[in-house]
Structure 1
Amino acid sequence: MYLFVNGQVIKEEEAALSPFDHGYMYGVGLFETFRLYEGHPFLLDDHFRRLSKGLASLSIDWKMEKEQVLDALQALSDANGIKNAYVRWNVSAGIGPLGLYTDTYSKPTTIVYMKPIPEEMGTEKTGILLKLRRNSPEGVDRLKSHHYLNNLLAKREIGNDPTREGIFLSEKGYLAEGIVSNLFWIKGDTVYTPDTDTGILNGITRQFILALCKKNQIPFEIGCYSVEALLEADGAFLTNSIQEVVKLTEFDGQAFKKEQPFIEWLQQQYKLFRHSLWSKSEL
């Protein structure tokens, strides 16, 4: 694998990180994961808008123009010889003194990872109610940060089966999100999803799905819901930027209806836009 590290494309074995990088020492860093579809980075503008806002909140002085980002992705795509890819764009604070640092980080570390991915992935999963609760965000909002221990422990709880996804409850007992996904369900003609007030990540694909609902005048509600709301649903699905829209066949041992035309419609809509859209605002 070739990586993009601070402006250069290098082999993975040549990559190095300072032991004083605060992304390693204290978890001060953020990342975005997204896909290339035949070279097109789907919803790139939305991902980098979120990344830039989050980095600013951490006092990490980082900026790249869109043209620079696209050049980096093209160079990395060419080096790895792939056009359909998983991309992780990682920005950490960079080198700092030993101890908690309160000033602005002016020399962050940028690392971009890219690996091949099949254009079509699994479209169904089983939902498992986790015993472990979703931890509260470190700050006001949930950032896509290096603090991933809560997710890792949840993954260990359910194991490595790729057809299973753990569903978190918030610390207050409300439905929250999956280990690596946002959660939606359908009851009647209305789509439901937990509010970010539950401490979930406001996923880019989550935002795209809500924008699709708004554009097509599909009723949706955002709020704080108990487990019963999901158990009584007609159907449910998960979203993230790598796996797209994934239907839940069951939750906590209770099966949903096999026929889910709305979820199938969403999956088709995703395919329609994924080779061309830069932002949900283009809808």
Structure 2
Amino acid sequence: MAYCYFKGEVVDESKASISIHNVGVQRGFGIFDLFRGRQGKPVFMEDHLDRFDRSQQFLGLDWLIEKEEIREAVDALQRKNRFKESAFKLMLLGDGSETEKTLKPFFYITNSDLSNHKNPDSAAIILHEYLREYPEIKSINYLTSNYLHRKRMKANAIDIIYHKDGFISEASRSNVFVVRDGEMITPKGNILAGITRKNILSIANDITKIHVQELSLADFKSADEIFITSTLKEVLPIIEVDGVKVGDGRIGSISTQVIKRFSDHLHQ
């Protein structure tokens, strides 16, 4: 059993329900954000709240969910669920009908136990030509990612890397870094500004030079190392792309250094 924040109250998840007529559900009109709780404390919460705020402003609903309400709700859930390792997912859907002039926000927070969550040491990915609509916001539109689920599972891949017109943008649920000639590159445009990515750019710039720029598909495929970053995956080395080894097929030295640096940063 877990508790969630729903309609302004902390309630048992089994007591929470959404109308089948909700426009967010019917039309996929909504945004979300997700951050972790470690040892009873939220991690990078303020960065996530800033991004959530930008996303909800984009929706143009009747009013905004205030950060203080979210902070208080997260604190209440942490005390109620008492998970040492967890994920907080903020969900915001448009509520109302398409005939109304404006839509009001339908907001809730789930809190999931991550005590058994463990990332693999490395993983494979697949490529797909696609550019997300409104990539700067964390939309609930995962149609393409879900459409490719069977293909991803068949390839035993952890994620899908998107590219368009010969350039890499992001993974379906992660940001992308490559290492070429001893230096890191991460795509600049058409991406969601990941919080883990933001921290890597801040704390790992003395490991090697980091370039935030366009990344061609050709340069991606010939990279010496690749890793992806996200809240749940953290820093995950990629050793295979579409069945082809990255470099020598092993975790690279720079990826190893970034993993350690990020881990140290989390436990400061």
Query: Structure 2 unaligned runs (5+)?
Result: none
The Cα of 1:48 is off from its aligned counterpart by 0.8
CA distance in 2, matches of 1:119, 1:40: 17
The Cα of 1:2 is off from its aligned counterpart by 1.9
The Cα of 1:72 is off from its aligned counterpart by 1.6
Map residues 48-127 of structure 1 onto 2, 5 A cutoff: 48-60=49-61, 61-66=63-68, 68-94=69-95, 96-99=96-99, 103=102, 105=103, 107-117=104-114, 118=116, 120-127=118-125
Q: Name the structure 2 match of 1:188.
A: 181
Q: Name the structure 2 match of 1:22.
A: 23
CA distance in 2, matches of 1:62, 1:5: 16
Q: Which structure is higher in RCO with an 8 Å CA cutoff and minimum separation 6?
A: 1
User: Does structure 1 retain, via aligned residues, the 8 Å contact 2:131–2:162?
Assistant: no
The Cα of 1:158 is off from its aligned counterpart by 1.2
Structure 1 counterpart of 2:125, one-letter code: G
TM-score by length of 2: 0.87
How many residues of Structure 1 are paired with residues of Structure 2 in the alignment?
263
Structure 2 counterpart of 1:195, one-letter code: K
The Cα of 1:195 is off from its aligned counterpart by 2.1
After superposition, the CA RMSD in angstroms is 2.3
CA distance in 1, matches of 2:176, 2:83: 30
User: Does structure 2 retain, via aligned residues, the 8 Å contact 1:135–1:150?
Assistant: no
Q: Name the structure 1 match of 2:257.
A: 265
The Cα of 1:85 is off from its aligned counterpart by 0.5
Task: Describe the shift of the 1:149–1:246 C-alpha distance in structure 2 as closer, same or farther (beyond 3 A).
Answer: same
Report whether the alignment pairs 1:156 with 2:150. Answer: yes
Structure 2 counterpart of 1:123, one-letter code: D
Q: Please state whether the residue corresponding to 2:148 is helix, strand or coil.
A: helix
The Cα of 1:62 is off from its aligned counterpart by 1.6
Counterpart among 131, 137, 162 of residue 135 in structure 1: 131
Counterpart among 203, 208, 224 of residue 218 in structure 1: 208
CA distance in 2, matches of 1:219, 1:42: 26
Q: Name the structure 2 match of 1:279.
A: none
Task: Describe the shift of the 1:162–1:77 C-alpha distance in structure 2 as closer, same or farther (beyond 3 A).
Answer: farther
Bigger proportion of residues as strand:
2
Task: Describe the shift of the 1:244–1:217 C-alpha distance in structure 2 as closer, same or farther (beyond 3 A).
Answer: closer
- Summarize deviations over 1:11-65 as a string: whole Å, max 9, x none: 2221111334332132222100111111221111111111111111211222323
TM-score by length of 1: 0.83
